[in-house]
A and B are shown apart, each in its own frame.
Chain A
Amino acid sequence: MPGRTPPPSDHAPTRSAALANALARCEAGQGQALRLRGTPAPAVAAALLQDAAELGDGLLWRGRPGELWLLGAAPAAMDRLDSKLSALGWAGEALPAQGLAALIDAPVATPAAPSMPAAGLEQRAAQAPAPLAALWRMGANGPDVLAQRWLADPAGIFDGPEPELRAHAAALLANRLLAQAARGAWPAARKPHLPLLLDMPPLAEPPALPRPPDGGAPHALVLPLELAPVAGVWAQAAAAAGWGLAWQGLAPELAPLLERLPGGWVFTPWSAAWPGTAWSAPERLVVTQLPGQAALAHVVQSRLAVMSMLPT
């Protein structure tokens, strides 16, 4: 077949000529290999790897979903790429030449297509169960549960990759929680002795707010961070209805804003930048989306509060 290397045997996988050439450069020690997985900006990663491929006579290979590979690039180009990646806070995984062919040829698992698309989102938001989460901090005798959060978690109604649609799904759910709260239909798993935190939609003007449930005060409304410029209006409306304020979405990039946010708890998703960030009031923070045991250990040792989902 023109442009392709003939397979050496019936069972050997077919590789394009460019891929075979890049692999051969790696195996001959003329080029190096690097794999980048799970970057938050695949287009940026691909552009950087493409630059390095052009500069270092390598190949950008996208043969595996969610991964970008640079194969056969000259060491100088690889070094430059490395410094660019680290400037963005990323790290590529250097792949040894030995075993590279097997890695390339390993069977590819096709990722499942989203089963909950944008169409029908509004209908699903009206029906999906809304979970409760627990806020806890490790105490001397084990975890102390500090509060519960009635959460507008979009995972149950949207599983596409688009962040705006995911955030929209969360806003739809928050609107529904608000309507349920207005009817006094609080979640059955609520513990009456614990404060309840209620997620709010990203509305610049506060809507009519319900009274909080009985017991467990102080309760708080959880505002998305983009409402910080209208915090004063929200704080007033919330206080008039008997609520305090909490915040959702602060990230290490904006850590100094913590002291400007009125109210109590501030929910921040875990990220690689978290451990190196100086927070002015860590006692207010609740860490979410912990990726694994190492992150959990860091958070527990630092006596930070954590959010965990409760079984629905």
Chain B
Amino acid sequence: MNASLTWQRDALAVATLARESAASGMERRVLLLRLSALPDELRREHHLRLLREALHPLLRPTRARLYELPSGDMVAAAPPPGEHLDLVAATMRRLLSDDTAVTEELRLPEQAAALLDLVAGALGLSAAPMELPPPAIRGRPPTAAEVLGAEAALARADLEVHLRSQTVCTVAQGADGPEPLWQDHSLALGALAEALLPGCDLSATPWLHRRLRSRAERRLLALWSRPEEVRGFNARGLSLLPASVLEEEFQRFDRLLPARARAQLTIGFALADILADPAGFGLALRLLALRGYATALDGLGVAELPLLLPGLFGLDGLRLRFSRGWLELDAAAKAHLERCLPAERGRVVLAGVEAPAAIGWGWERGITRFQGRLMEQRLSAGG
């Protein structure tokens, strides 16, 4: 059967699935891989073949089905609980440089209309250019007791699936390509929370969100304390809540980690987390300095620039999160940024780099350390 016929057959099958689910209430978890959203250079036939080769073994032992749409997008559908789709999503995000816009999860029958729209778009039946389906209706805020219940499930969850990593690289002007420095790790809290508390919206209860995050971070630290992890410890970065540094899991990790390895670990704190727990932050900072870890102000966005202070609240480094807003700073904001950036620019990383414009903006400020999808693509191309 030629490819075109396969695509059309699959598109009809997805449309039928959506309609039947809406009519009967049959539940399905659907993972949408929007490969059409990838840049052209990542969408060549051999890339797609590699993706299929990665996908099929993941789906084979399950009851999930994979469909390919004429737009190039793929749809994996599984009956609930469909937990293996989390693994598929995580694997795809790793392969696609953590681009969360490329993977999207839908739930049937609630989002059957969105899935049908998507199929229509893929078949060229919609006049407007294909757009992301509307965001799912926000869930209700969870109760404190529900979050405590989710903590029990977290103890059994596969945390590795929700761990994301990107390489921090040096990109010097005139150099051939990025030079890897260390891996930066973070937990994909959104996906984890959705898996543990489906249908709940933790953004409405920020302190319950912090509670769950703290428990996930503590579990991650416990995983990192395994002998094989400690033995193979390499330079890395990790964003934590200040309170996580003060917990037993970090103390245990710290006791097991060789002293020389501590300086290779950069613990990052987001400004919002510092503001939410200033006293905990102060204590965590003193402890990390005492034990010889590197620290950083993590993921500072342009909206937070007015709160940035020279001296970085006592932290060693700064990780800026790039967005178009940085290109549009007025003179006063630029001067403020310049005052606050550490003179030693090696202490600054520009994250969220997706286009060369970000590197150019960084170079203008003497920044040569970068992180983001563009770096991952260049490293893959070079490797």
B206 within 8 A of A: yes
- How many of chain A's residues touch chain B, expressed as a range? 35 or more
Contact of A228 with B275 in the complex, beta carbons under 8 Å? yes
CB distance from A193 to the nearest CB of B (A): 34
Q: Using known A-B contacts A118-B144, A225-B275, A229-B304, determine if residue A89 contacts B283 with beta carbons closer than 8 Å.
A: yes
Evaluate whether A122 and B144 lie within 8 angstroms (CB atoms) in the complex, with A163-B243, A164-B214, A165-B211 already known: yes
Q: Contacts A41-B283, A46-B251, A88-B290 hold; do A253 and B278 have CB atoms under 8 A apart?
A: yes
Determine how close the nearest CB of chain B comes to the CB of A297; give it in whole angstroms. 22
Q: Report if B272 contacts A (CB, 8 A).
A: yes
Interface string of B38-71 (1 = CB under 8 A from A): 0000000000000000000000000000000000
Report whether B145 and A225 are in contact in the complex, using a CB–CB cutoff of 8 Å: no
Q: Complex: how many Å from CA A203 to CA B207?
A: 11
Are the CB atoms of A84 and B283 closer together than 8 Å? no
Taking residues whose C-beta sits less than 8 angstroms from the other chain, chain B's interface range is 35 or more
Contact with B along A161-174 (1 / 0, CB 8 A): 01111011101000
When distances are taken between beta carbons in the complex, the residues of chain B under 8 Å from A47 are: 251, 254-255
Nearest residue, chain B, Cβ from A122: B143
Which of chain A's residues 213-269 have a Cβ closer than 8 Å to chain B? Answer: 224-226, 228-230, 249-254, 256-257, 260, 269
A109 sits at the interface (CB 8 A): no
- A226 near B144 with CB under 8 A, answer no
Q: B255 to chain A: which residues have CB within 8 Å?
A: 47, 51
* Complex Cα spacing A271 to B250, Å: 25
- Distance A293 CA – B345 CA, assembled complex (angstroms): 48
- Whether A168 and B207, one on each chain, are in contact in the complex, defined by CB atoms closer than 8 angstroms, is yes
How many angstroms from the CA of A48 to the CA of B69 in the assembled complex?
59
- Could you tell me the distance in whole angstroms from the C-beta of A241 to the nearest C-beta in chain B? 21
Complex-state Cα separation, A256 to B311, whole angstroms:
11
Q: Which residue of A lies closest to B213 (CB)?
A: A164
Give the distance in Å from the alpha carbon of A44 to the alpha carbon of B307 in the complex: 30
Interface string of B173-206 (1 = CB under 8 A from A): 0000000000000000000000000000000111
A87 touches B205 (CB 8 A): no
| Contact, CB under 8 Å: B272 / A256 | no
B290, A87: Cβ atoms under 8 Å? yes
| Cross-chain contact of A118 among B148, B204, B277, B289 (Cβ < 8 A) | B148
CB-CB under 8 A for A271 and B145, given A47-B251, A89-B286, A168-B207: no
Do A120 and B145 have beta carbons less than 8 Å apart?
A: yes
Q: Are B286 and A254 touching (Cβ within 8 A)?
A: no
Q: For A113, what are the chain B residues with a Cβ–Cβ distance below 8 Å? A: none
Point out the residues of chain B lying under 8 angstroms from A51, CB to CB.
255
**B286→A164 contact, CB < 8 A:** no
Q: In the complex, A251 Cα to B274 Cα: how many Å?
A: 11
In Å, the complex CA distance between A43 and B218 comes to 13
| A254 & B275 in contact (Cβ 8 Å cutoff) | yes
Chain A 33-71: CB-based contact to B (< 8 A → 1; otherwise 0): 000000011011011000100000000000000000000
When C-beta atoms are compared, the residue in chain B nearest to A202 turns out to be: B206
User: Which chain A residues lie closer than 8 Å to B307 at the CB level?
Assistant: 228-229, 257, 260
Residue of A with least CB distance to B272: A226
Name the A residues within 8 Å of B206 (CB-CB): 171, 202, 226
The answer, yes or no, to whether B26 is at the interface (CB within 8 Å) is: no
- Decide if B306 is an interface residue (CB 8 Å cutoff): yes
CB contact under 8 A between A88 and B283, given known A47-B254, A226-B275? yes
Contact yes or no, B290 A249, CB < 8 A = no
Minimal beta-carbon separation of B333 from chain A (angstroms)? 13
| Least CB distance, A258 to chain B, in whole angstroms | 11
Instruction: Tell me whether A295 is interfacial, beta carbon within 8 Å.
Output: no
**A278 an interface residue at 8 Å Cβ cutoff?**
no
B198 to chain A, nearest CB (A): 19
Assess A168 versus B276: contact at CB under 8 Å? Given A41-B246, A88-B283: no
Closest to A170 in B: B207
Q: Which A residue's beta carbon lies closest to that of B203? A: A204
Cβ of A119 under 8 Å from chain B: yes
Interface residues of A in 63-111 (CB under 8 A from B): 84, 87-89
| Residue B370 CB within 8 A of the other chain | no
User: Assuming A122-B144, A162-B211, A271-B279, what are 17 further A-B pairs, CB within 8 angstroms?
Assistant: A40-B279, A43-B246, A43-B250, A118-B148, A164-B207, A165-B211, A167-B207, A167-B210, A167-B276, A203-B204, A228-B307, A229-B271, A229-B272, A229-B307, A249-B276, A253-B281, A254-B275
Q: Which residues of A contact B (CB under 8 A)?
A: 40-41, 43-44, 46-47, 51, 84, 87-89, 118-122, 162-165, 167-169, 171, 202-203, 224-226, 228-230, 249-254, 256-257, 260, 269, 271, 273
7 pairs, A vs B, C-beta closer than 8 Å: A43-B246, A165-B211, A168-B205, A168-B207, A171-B207, A249-B276, A249-B278
